[in-house]
């Protein structure tokens, strides 16, 4: 077992930091609880069951708010002092040349936009090449794509990328036959095959970008700190085009520095892993981080979906340090473009985080890791708890209104979340809560505005303040919608159900959320908001007005969701300097390159509509080079008699009828069979036209047009 | 190789198959042309030389067996021509016969053969040395040599509470009726609770 060295930060000092953090959370929560209990007490002189429940919920929810606030406040303290002396990156002195070790940069992909994925890899590869340290790094594209088009395009793109950057032997491509255990399984498969060859691996997401400098710094830091198992960077959100994604990336860029500084202040070597843009020491990861299944079956049990937090906990359990290096620049990711896409991602994360409840009491985990797991659970469970709290408050108000004793009090007192309360005390609690919610944001704005250079990078002080105001207004409107989304996800997960989504009708120029999708997705929110609003108004108009910010977000969810999904509005906002980020005003070289390359890629002529759906299959069968590359990448198999008959029948059907009647499973089966692919290529070109399906005849005619120029890296 | 490429010196206009319809040979011509273009052979002069070679070989086979389709024969001939040519160029070292064309095409793609040596494709007489060298040197490595590790899932001791909850859940999953009853019970309890607190 590896024991984390005490040299870096001595235990008493770390204990002091943690005591400060948890004591501040405790004091703030206690104060707020005292106010709340007093208010409830005033209603009738003693607490009823309902009031006890309300108070319990309040404590839980307020603690959650206080944790965020205290983290930000400590971050502010650290930033104001000019930074933390206890940062893992400070172990490498500026300009110090640290010998590097073999590192695999791995990018697990699953049906992603092939152009984006490979152009991202190209940019990272080139950036690393410019550091002159490329020899220490190998790149792996680990595909779990289960769509024929994606798979074939990935192969073509890989070959072209390798040709263009002389990357053969440096950039590798692996397609898994069986997509077992999703991303964690994909990474584990890589480690089983090649893990021993590398001391470190840098895990990226399909939308990650890391500069060569950042990668070199990460590996150098690992080399300097042999007791460290994981170093997690804090990727910045970039490349947002829609209003929603630009809003998110602005908020992330403006507010996150103080939160991250605060986080590092109290967690130190007990950090967390967020699944990507992090460097991992391979051997301890292989030894300790293979994940078992949880009790029960999915969605609440079974295989662990959100693997990252658990892997960090297991790494710490084994004695290896896990650090957050929020001060490393040049690490980026992209956010979801719309509210609905964001909810879809939350749905997955919710299920994964809920599973962590099993692990809260696991033996051997460190308290801070339990805390991380607990916070992950609370990130989603807090939504139904808030909803429950508000609904109980409504019932409580109804109770008070019906009671003649309190009815009189209503006229001279005001109401807060359903409580008939004396104005000064309620107001104090209200201001206190708002302070905790908004002060970190205000601090973020002040810190940026007072630094003239930094403010200019956000578009100027005026732009920062205006953008922050608009961001806060939208956040307030989105909060109740997200609350309902997450509540639904939590309940469905507990009931063992999946959530179905409306398929978007693509076709508009900027792929906005269409009205049909928005109406079907948000109708329940509107209905809930209207019923809740009307009933609360009937119970007590004063209570209705207290609730109105929550109700407004719900009732207006459709137009808000559509407006935020607009690329055109995102562009307009950029013109008006709203939500500008430093990565937009002064984009780093790598992001500029990515943007230019992608613009080139997307200029390519797309296949005609009738061929587009099965273009991957078309290329793999028809194109002599794509067919050859594909066959070369397949593993040789000895088929059984039955499978030979099955494939013979499938092949003939494909040529005579075309791929339209084929299921994805059948197409994938053919694509996985090397003999079938060789046979199909030969037969397609040998068979007289009249023997072929019309689809293939059209493909042959059209393909000549498309291949007039050599295949470039990426067709979109 | 069965047919030397010097025979392509004869212009294509003199190609007169003795058997088969003009329409069928026209279709065969189009197919070979399409196939060459799919190989990125865009040089018209080189294309027509190759087409003539292929069609002449196909025509000879068609004379022997007129029942066969000229398109099929032409496609088979160009396949055969390629197999022979790739074997020669690659020196056919490590590839089983049925994979020679596959290996050859990969090498062509990686060496940018059609672009850098537009007249070399299927020419057995004057194959540029640098082209052969490049073809033989081309290699496509999808992954480095494997170094297997054992990464077996290790059980996590979930602690007494989670273990007990897990066992209960697993038992629950086996009894769907009980699960439904508990859900109904929970729903009723919620209704009762709301009723109680609003009295």
Percent of chain A with pLDDT strictly greater than 70: 91
Summary mean pLDDT of chain A: 89
Task: Please report whether residue A124 resides in a domain.
Answer: no
| Residue A580 confidence (pLDDT) | 96
| Residue A47 sits at the chain B interface (C-beta within 8 Å) | no
Inter-chain contact A296–B173, Cβ cutoff 8 Å? yes
Tens-digit pLDDT profile for residues B46-98? 888 999 999 999 999 999 999 999 999 999 999 999 999 998 888 866 667 77
Residue A656 token pair: 């005579």
Let me know whether B125 and B176 are in one domain: no
Residue B93 vs residue A131, higher pLDDT: A131
Select from A172, A300, A628 the Cβ nearest to the Cβ of B106. Answer: A628
Q: Do B157 and A362 touch (CB under 8 A)?
A: yes
CB burial class (10 A; 0-12, 13-18, 19+) of residue A319?
middle
Q: Which domain holds residue B36?
A: 22-138
Cβ-defined contact of B163 to A364 (cutoff 8 Å): no
CA distance A705 to chain B (A): 9
Nearest CB to A363; choose among B34, B104, B157: B157
Contact across the interface for B142 and A288, Cβ inside 8 Å = no
pLDDT at A500: 65
The answer to whether position A586 is within a domain reads no
Condensed to tens digits (0 to 9), the pLDDT of residues A598-625 reads 888 877 767 788 888 999 999 999 999 9
Cα–Cα distance measured from residue A332 to residue A204, given in angstroms and rounded to the nearest whole number: 10
Quickly tell me which residue has 């104005």 as its tokens. A423
Check B34 against A700: CB less than 8 A apart: yes
Task: Determine the pLDDT at residue B176.
Answer: 74
Contact B197 A395 (CB under 8 A): yes
Q: Is residue B10 domain-resident? A: no
CB-based contact, B176 to chain A, within 8 Å = no
Q: Choose among B114, B139, B142: nearest Cβ to A174.
A: B142
Q: What per-residue confidence (pLDDT) applies to A2?
A: 56
> Is A519's pLDDT higher than 90?
yes
> CB distance A197–B147 less than 8 Å?
yes
Task: Compute the average pLDDT of residues A168-185.
Answer: 91
Q: Best interface-test mutation with B: which of A370, A624, A655, A681 has the largest number of B CBs within 10 A?
A: A624
- The verdict on residue B119 lying in a domain is yes
Nearest-angstrom CA–CA distance, A166 and B117: 20
Give tens-digit pLDDT for A326-356.
999 999 999 999 999 999 999 999 999 999 9
The length of chain A is 716
Chain B within 8 Å of A77 (Cβ-Cβ)? no
Q: What is the pLDDT of residues A220-276, one digit of tens each?
A: 999 999 999 999 999 999 999 999 999 999 999 999 999 999 999 999 999 999 999
In a domain, A620, yes or no: yes
**Counted domains in chain B:** 2
pLDDT at A546 (0 to 100) = 80
- pLDDT at residue A697 in the model: 93
State which residues of chain B have pLDDT below 70: 1-13, 92-95, 197-199
Looking at CA atoms only, how far is residue A169 from chain B in angstroms? 6
3-state DSSP call for residue A639? coil
Residue A642: per-residue pLDDT: 82
The Cα–Cα gap between B187 and A551 comes to 26
Compute the nearest-CA separation of B134 from chain A (Å): 13
Chain A residues within 8 A of B101 when measuring between CB atoms = 628
Which residue from A273, A282, A135, A133 is spatially nearest to A217, judged by alpha carbons? A133
Backbone angles phi, psi at A87, to 5 degrees: -125, 140
Give the tens place of pLDDT for each residue, A529-576.
Answer: 999 999 889 888 877 888 888 899 999 999 999 999 999 999 999 999
Query: What domain range is A648 assigned to?
Result: 609-706
CA distances from A136 to A29, A131, A215, A231 (A): 50, 11, 11, 18
Tell me if A93 is assigned to some domain: no
Kindly indicate the confidence band of residue A504, based on its pLDDT and cuts at 50, 70 and 90: low
Looking at residue A255, what is its pLDDT? Answer: 95
For residue A512, the model assigns a pLDDT of 77
Q: A299 preceded by cis ω (within 30°)?
A: yes
Cα A313 from chain centre:
20
From B138, B155, B173, the end of a domain falls on: B138
pLDDT of residue A295: 85
Q: How far apart, in whole angstroms, are the C-alpha atoms of residue A615 and residue B149?
A: 37
User: What value does the mean pLDDT take over residues A515-541?
Assistant: 92
Distance, CA of B57 to CA of B78 (rounded, Å)? 9
Ramachandran bin of A419, using left for φ above 0, alpha for ψ from -120 to 50, beta for the remaining angles: beta
Q: Please indicate whether, in this complex, the C-beta atoms of B109 and A628 are within 8 angstroms of each other.
A: yes
Q: Is 90 exceeded by the pLDDT of residue A414?
A: no
Closest CA of chain B from A263, distance in Å: 27
With respect to residue B57, please indicate whether it lies within any of the assigned structural domains: yes
* E strand or H helix that includes residue B161: helix B159-174
Q: Is B7 part of a structural domain of the chain? A: no
Indicate if B32 and B111 belong to the same structural domain.
yes
Is residue A668 one of the residues assigned to a domain?
yes
Query: Is the domain of B98 the same as that of B26?
Result: yes
**Residues of A numbered 479-498 whose beta carbons fall under 8 angstroms of chain B's beta carbons: which are they?**
495
Q: Chain A contact for B67, CB < 8 A?
A: no
What integer pLDDT is reported at residue B5 of this predicted model?
46
Could you say which residues from 614 to 633 on chain A have a Cβ atom under 8 Å away from some Cβ of chain B? Answer: 622-625, 627-629, 631-633
| A545 inside 8 A of chain B by CB | no
Instruction: Tell me if chain B has a CB within 8 Å of the CB of A26.
Output: no
- Of B141, B156, B166, Cβ closest to residue A169: B141
Strand A137-143 and strand A103-109: pairing?
parallel
Structure token pair of residue B118:
């537009």
Counting DSSP H helices and E strands in chain B, the numbers are 8, 0
> B11 lies in a domain?
no
Report yes or no on A212 lying in a domain.
no
Name which of B82, B105, B183 to mutate to probe chain A: the one with the most chain A Cβ atoms within 10 A of its Cβ.
Answer: B105
The B residues from 26 to 65 touching A (CB cutoff 8 Å) are: 27, 31, 34-35, 37-40, 42
Element (H, E) at A175: strand A171-175
Q: Chain A closest CA to B5's CA: distance in Å?
A: 22
Could you read off the pLDDT of A20-67 as tens digits, one per residue?
999 999 999 999 998 888 888 876 667 888 889 999 999 999 999 999
pLDDT at A410: 42
Each residue's pLDDT tens digit, A357-400: 999 999 999 999 999 999 999 999 999 999 999 888 888 877 77
Answer whether A522's CB lies under 8 Å from A561's CB: yes
Residue A627 has pLDDT above 90, yes or no: yes
Residue A280 lies inside a defined structural domain of this protein: no
Q: Residues B107, B170: one domain?
A: no
Overall average pLDDT of the A285-310 stretch: 89
Min Cα distance B150 → chain A (Å) is 6
pLDDT class of A411 with cuts at 50, 70, 90: very low
Mean pLDDT of A171-175: 96
A361 with B142: Cβ contact below 8 A: no
Residue pLDDT, tens place only, A658-698 = 999 999 999 999 999 999 999 999 999 999 999 999 999 99
- What total number of domains does chain A contain? 1
Q: pLDDT (tens digit, 9 = 90+) per residue, A71-93? A: 999 999 999 888 888 899 999 99
Return the pLDDT at A88: 93
Contacts of B68 in chain A (CB under 8 A): none
Place of tokens 């990156």: A89
Residues A134-148: what's their mean pLDDT? 96
- Identify whether B80 is part of a domain: yes
Distance from CA of B8 to the nearest CA of A (A): 22
Per CB-CB distance under 8 Å, the chain A contacts of B167 are 295
A540: Cβ contacts below 8 Å, ≥ 6 apart? A397, A401, A410, A415
Q: What residues of chain A lie within 8 A of the CB of B196, using their CB?
A: 49
Domain annotation covers residue B103: yes
């Amino acid at each position: 077992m590896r024991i984390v060295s005490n040299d870096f930060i001595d235990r008493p000092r770390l204990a002091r930091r943690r005591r400060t953090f948890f004591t501040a959370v405790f004091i703030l929560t206690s104060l707020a609880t005292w106010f709340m209990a007093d208010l409830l007490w005033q209603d009738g002189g003693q607490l009823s069951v309902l009031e006890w429940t309300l108070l319990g919920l309040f404590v839980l929810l307020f603690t959650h708010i206080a944790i965020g606030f205290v983290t930000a406040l400590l971050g502010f303290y650290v930033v104001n002092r000019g930074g933390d002396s206890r940062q893992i990156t400070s172990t490498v002195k500026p300009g110090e040349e640290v010998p590097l070790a073999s590192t695999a940069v791995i990018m697990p992909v699953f049906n992603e936009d092939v152009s984006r994925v490979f152009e991202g890899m190209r940019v990272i590869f080139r950036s690393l090449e410019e550091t002159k340290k490329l020899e220490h790094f190998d790149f792996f594209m680990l595909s779990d794509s289960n769509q024929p088009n994606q798979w074939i395009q990935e192969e073509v793109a890989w070959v072209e990328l390798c040709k263009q950057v002389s990357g053969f032997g440096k950039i590798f491509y692996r397609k898994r036959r069986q997509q077992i255990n999703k991303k964690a399984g994909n990474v584990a498969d890589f480690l089983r095959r090649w893990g021993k060859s590398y001391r470190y691996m840098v895990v990226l997401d399909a939308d990650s970008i890391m500069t060569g400098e950042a990668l070199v710094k990460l590996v150098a830091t690992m080399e300097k700190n042999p007791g460290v198992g994981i170093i997690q960077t804090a990727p910045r959100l970039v490349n947002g085009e829609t209003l929603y994604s630009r809003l998110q990336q602005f908020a992330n860029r403006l507010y996150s520095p103080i939160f991250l500084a605060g986080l590092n202040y109290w967690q130190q070597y007990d950090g967390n892993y967020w699944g990507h843009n992090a460097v991992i020491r391979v051997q301890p990861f292989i030894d300790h981080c293979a994940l078992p299944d949880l009790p029960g079956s999915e969605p609440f049990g079974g295989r662990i979906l959100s693997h990252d937090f658990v892997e960090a906990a297991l790494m710490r359990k084994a004695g290896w340090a896990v650090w957050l290096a929020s001060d490393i620049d040049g690490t980026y990711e992209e956010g979801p473009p719309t509210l609905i896409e964001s909810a879809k991602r939350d749905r997955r994360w919710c299920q994964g985080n809920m599973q962590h409840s099993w692990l809260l009491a696991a033996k051997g985990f460190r308290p801070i890791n339990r805390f991380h797991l607990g916070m992950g659970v609370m990130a989603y469970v807090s939504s139904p708890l808030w909803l429950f709290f508000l609904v109980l408050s409504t019932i409580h108000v109804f109770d008070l209104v019906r009671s003649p004793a309190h009815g009189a009090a209503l006229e001279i007192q005001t109401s807060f979340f359903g409580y008939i309360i004396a104005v000064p005390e309620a107001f104090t609690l209200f201001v206190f809560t708002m302070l905790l919610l908004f002060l970190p944001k205000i601090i973020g704005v002040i810190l940026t505005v007072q630094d003239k250079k930094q403010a200019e990078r956000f578009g100027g002080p005026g732009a920062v303040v205006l953008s922050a105001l608009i961001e806060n207004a939208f956040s307030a409107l989105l909060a109740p919608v997200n609350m309902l989304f997450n509540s639904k996800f939590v309940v469905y997960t507990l009931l063992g159900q999946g959530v179905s989504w409306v398929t978007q009708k693509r076709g508009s120029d900027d792929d906005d959320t269409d009205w049909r999708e928005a109406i079907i997705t948000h109708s329940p929110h509107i209905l809930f908001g209207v019923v809740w609003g009307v009933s609360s108004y009937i119970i007590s108009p004063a209570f209705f007005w207290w609730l109105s910010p929550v109700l407004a977000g719900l009732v207006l969810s459709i137009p808000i969701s559509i407006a935020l999904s607009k690329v055109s509005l995102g562009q307009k906002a950029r013109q008006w300097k709203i939500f500008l980020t430093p990565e937009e005003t002064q984009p780093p070289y790598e992001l500029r390159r990515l943007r230019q390359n992608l613009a080139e890629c997307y200029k390519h002529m797309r296949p005609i509509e009738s061929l587009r759906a099965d273009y991957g299959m078309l290329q793999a069968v028809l194109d002599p080079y794509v067919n050859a590359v594909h066959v070369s990448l397949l593993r040789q198999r000895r088929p059984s008699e039955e499978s030979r008959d099955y494939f013979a029948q499938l092949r003939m059907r494909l040529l005579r009828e075309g791929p339209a009647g084929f299921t994805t499973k059948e197409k994938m089966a053919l694509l996985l069979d090397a003999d079938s692919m060789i046979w199909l290529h030969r037969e397609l070109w040998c068979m007289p036209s009249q023997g072929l399906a019309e689809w293939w005849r059209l493909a042959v005619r059209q393909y000549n047009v498309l291949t007039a120029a050599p295949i470039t890296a990426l067709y979109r | 190789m069965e047919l030397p490429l010097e025979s392509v010196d004869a212009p294509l206009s003199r190609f007169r198959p003795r058997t088969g319809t003009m329409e069928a040979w026209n279709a065969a011509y189009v197919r070979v042309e399409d196939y060459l273009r799919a190989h990125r052979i865009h040089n018209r002069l080189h294309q027509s030389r190759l087409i003539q070679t292929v069609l002449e070989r196909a025509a000879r086979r068609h004379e022997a067996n007129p029942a066969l389709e000229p398109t099929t024969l032409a496609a088979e001939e160009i396949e055969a021509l390629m197999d022979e040519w790739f074997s020669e160029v690659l020196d056919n070292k490590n590839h089983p016969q049925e994979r020679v064309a596959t290996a050859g095409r990969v090498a062509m793609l990686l060496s940018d053969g059609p672009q850098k040596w537009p007249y070399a494709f299927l020419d057995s007489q004057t194959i540029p040395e640098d082209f052969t060298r490049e073809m033989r040197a081309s290699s496509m490595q999808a992954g480095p040599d494997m170094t297997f590790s054992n990464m077996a899932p290790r059980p996590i001791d979930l602690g007494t509470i989670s273990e007990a909850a897990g066992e209960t859940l697993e038992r629950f999953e086996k009894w769907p009726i009980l699960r439904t009853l508990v859900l109904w019970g929970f729903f009723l309890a919620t209704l009762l609770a709301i009723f109680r607190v609003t009295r």
